[in-house]
């Protein structure tokens, strides 16, 4: 595996959603617990802030797994594999009647059949679009080709953010509606909670749209990077 592409993109891809989750959780605290947290921040200074950055990375890393499960259960979400299939099926035709993606698919099948024949002896290549995708991405990632990994990281970041914003909105709405029935005094008043709900819902929608865009960009970039790197003279 090529570790050169693991860098600040991956780090911030965890720190940012982890920070959003922690701020969202803090906004749900009661006045008593929020005062304790605020006192810790004031007393801890720079060292406490450093610990928060480390903790936000860990929270973001763990939250990725939850976001993946929630995103997979959403009725209108699309996986990267389904996006790849659509790109293969719906690519517009070129002047020669053979579209760019079709040329990539033909070339990729021949490329991997030549280079990994032992693994592909019993494989029906006409029915293996999913494997073409995985082997293409693995090849360009291991060989540090192109920019598709950056789009992957941004897709993961957008997915984590839209889930984090959405859960924050739902949690504030539940507390706002249940405030008359439970003895709980959140640090935010109803007006502030309503504003948080509106902002986080809008942010969740924007990040959901961004995730789909980054997913399509990842697929298109991956195809283009592989085609230019391995299938052209």
Chain segment 156-201, per-residue pLDDT in tens: 999 999 999 999 999 989 888 877 677 677 777 888 889 999 999 9
- Per-domain residue ranges for the chain? 8-230
Give the pLDDT confidence of 125-135 residue by residue, as tens digits: 444 778 888 88
How many CB atoms are closer than 10 A to CB 207? 21
* Residue 181 main-chain phi, psi, to 5 deg: -110, -15
Residues belonging to the chain: 233
Average pLDDT over residues 225-232: 86
124 pLDDT above the threshold of 60: no
pLDDT greater than 80 at residue 36: no
Task: Please tell me the predicted confidence (pLDDT) of residue 1.
Answer: 42
Q: Is the pLDDT of residue 4 over 90?
A: no
State yes or no: pLDDT of 117 exceeds 70. Answer: no
């Amino acid at each position: 595996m090529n570790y050169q592409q693991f860098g600040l993109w991956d780090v911030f891809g965890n720190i940012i959603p982890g920070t959003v989750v922690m701020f969202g959780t803090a906004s749900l605290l009661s006045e008593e617990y929020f005062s304790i947290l605020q006192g810790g921040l004031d007393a801890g200074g720079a060292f406490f802030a450093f610990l928060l950055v480390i903790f936000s990375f860990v929270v973001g890393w763990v939250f990725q797994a939850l976001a993946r499960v929630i995103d997979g259960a959403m009725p209108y979400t699309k996986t990267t594999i389904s996006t790849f299939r659509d790109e293969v099926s719906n690519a517009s035709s070129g002047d020669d009647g053979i579209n760019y993606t079709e040329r990539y698919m033909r070339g990729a099948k021949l490329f991997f059949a030549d280079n990994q024949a032992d693994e592909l002896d019993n494989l029906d290549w006409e029915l293996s679009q999913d494997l073409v995708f995985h082997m293409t991405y693995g090849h360009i990632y291991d060989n540090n080709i192109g920019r598709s990994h950056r789009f992957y990281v941004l897709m993961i970041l957008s997915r984590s953010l839209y889930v984090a914003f959405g859960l924050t909105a739902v949690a504030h709405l539940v507390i706002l509606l249940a405030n008359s029935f439970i003895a709980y005094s959140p640090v935010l008043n109803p007006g502030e909670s309503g504003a948080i709900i509106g902002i986080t819902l809008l942010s969740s929608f924007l990040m959901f749209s961004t995730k789909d865009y980054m997913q399509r960009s990842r697929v298109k970039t991956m195809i283009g990077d592989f085609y230019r790197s391995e299938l052209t003279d």
